[in-house]
Amino acid sequence: MKELLNENELPCICTPLTGKNKAEIISELVTIVPKNPDLIEWRVDFFNDIDQLDEVFSTLQEIYNHSNGIPLLFTIRSQAEGGQEIPLLEDERVELLCKVCESDFIDMIDFEVSNNPEHIKRLRDVSNKHLKKLVLSYHNFECTPKKTEIFKHLLMMQFYGADVAKAAVMPNSQEDVITLLEVTKEAKETLTIPVVTMSMGELGIVSRIFGWYYGSAITFAVGDKSSAPGQIPIETLQQIIRMVKDSIGYD
Ligand SMILES: O=C1C[C@@](O)(C(=O)O)C[C@@H](O)[C@@H]1O
């Protein structure tokens, strides 16, 4: 498995899986894997059988079998932060995340920093125990809060022991995108863990393409279907990043 978040190979490009059932997910993987993403995210909140443990695990096994060693991020996005409506309460989500941490199928889990601190601590302990990375995240699909507020969320994630601190916000102006890039640079210079940020929607596309230059370690791109507004096709993103790196003398 390629080393995840190696400082010399950033940004890491992540493509989401948003299928409703196993067949859709496998079909997405067949499209995505040849495109060589660095990371695959299973957005489990899109999965119809999220409350059927057996189905989740047999699908995880299939994802593992079809992903050619590409690491997997397991995400159940809460509806409050832009995810799908699901039949699981927060403590049931935590139980599921704990169970998947015990398996060999995943490498990282994502949990919102706005959740109950006790749940965050439990997931930190369990993910540490099973050598899985914990991404703590913050999403705002309405607006881009002030720099200090975004920064506060990122700092809080580090305080809780996250391996990765992630913030995705919606811009309503070009200035908002600049705000996000500025806070990315400041967080990258201040925090000791990798920072991941994106400005969503059409206005924010530049942040998905150039965010790494300001310190964002992961950028999300469409392999087959998109999981958030503003994601662009992985092939386009790979080409542009390569061109920019070549022009400015990166490896
Ligand atoms: O947190 C994120 C980032 C994201 O919202 C984006 O804007 O690309 C996409 C989500 O699937 C992922 O979990």
What's the CA gap between 85 and 50, in Å, rounded?
11
Q: What pLDDT sits at residue 221?
A: 98
Residue among 227, 232, 234, 237 to mutate when testing ligand 1 (max atoms within 8 A of CB): 227
Chain center to CA of 33: 17
Using the predicted structure, report yes or no on whether residue 27 has a pLDDT greater than 60: yes
Residue among 28, 75, 139 to mutate when testing ligand 1 (max atoms within 8 A of CB): 139
Over range 43-48, report the average pLDDT. Answer: 98
Q: What pLDDT sits at residue 39?
A: 97
Third-level CATH fold of 7-246: TIM Barrel (3.20.20)
Q: What pLDDT sits at residue 248?
A: 84
Q: Catalytic residue at 245?
A: no
Pocket lining: 227 vs ligand 1, CB cutoff 6 Å? yes
Over range 130-143, report the average pLDDT. Answer: 98
Q: What pLDDT sits at residue 1?
A: 39
Q: What pLDDT sits at residue 251?
A: 65
Using the predicted structure, report yes or no on whether residue 200 has a pLDDT greater than 60: yes
Q: What pLDDT sits at residue 85?
A: 97
Q: Evaluate whether 39 touches 66 at the Cβ level (below 8 Å).
A: no
pTM of the predicted structure, to 2 decimals = 0.96
Q: Catalytic residue at 35?
A: no
Pocket lining: 18 vs ligand 1, CB cutoff 6 Å? no
Q: What pLDDT sits at residue 3?
A: 59
- The binding site for 3-dehydroquinate consists of 41-43, 77, 208, 227, 231
Over range 26-47, report the average pLDDT. Answer: 98
User: Which residue type sits at 25?
Assistant: I
Q: Which residue stretches of 45-173 are H helix?
A: 53-66, 90-101, 117-129, 147-159
Pocket lining: 22 vs ligand 1, CB cutoff 6 Å? no
Binned at pLDDT 50, 70 and 90, residue 10 comes out as: confident
pLDDT 10s digits, 160-181: 999 999 999 999 999 999 999 9
What's the CA gap between 155 and 195, in Å, rounded?
10
From 119, 132, 133, 139, active-site residue: 139
| 112 CA from centroid of ligand 1 (Å) | 12
Q: What pLDDT sits at residue 5?
A: 80
Of 167, 195, 184, the residue nearest 7 (C-alpha): 195
pLDDT 10s digits, 79-106: 999 999 999 999 999 999 999 999 999 9
Nearest-CA residue for ligand 1 atom 2 is 168
The ipTM, to two decimals, is: 0.99
Over range 27-49, report the average pLDDT. Answer: 98
What would the two tokens of residue 105 be? Answer: 């199928």
Q: What pLDDT sits at residue 249?
A: 79
From 147, 166, 188, 245, active-site residue: 166
Over range 104-110, report the average pLDDT. Answer: 98
Using the predicted structure, report yes or no on whether residue 2 has a pLDDT greater than 50: no
With residue 197 as reference, give the H or E element that holds it.
strand 195-199
Using the predicted structure, report yes or no on whether residue 229 has a pLDDT greater than 60: yes
Mean pLDDT (the chain) is: 96
With residue 108 as reference, give the H or E element that holds it.
strand 108-112
Pocket lining: 199 vs ligand 1, CB cutoff 6 Å? no
What residues pair up with 216 in beta bridges, in sequence order?
195
Using the predicted structure, report yes or no on whether residue 214 has a pLDDT greater than 50: yes
| 189 CA from centroid of ligand 1 (Å) | 23
What's the CA gap between 225 and 239, in Å, rounded?
19
| 228 CA from centroid of ligand 1 (Å) | 6
Over range 135-147, report the average pLDDT. Answer: 98
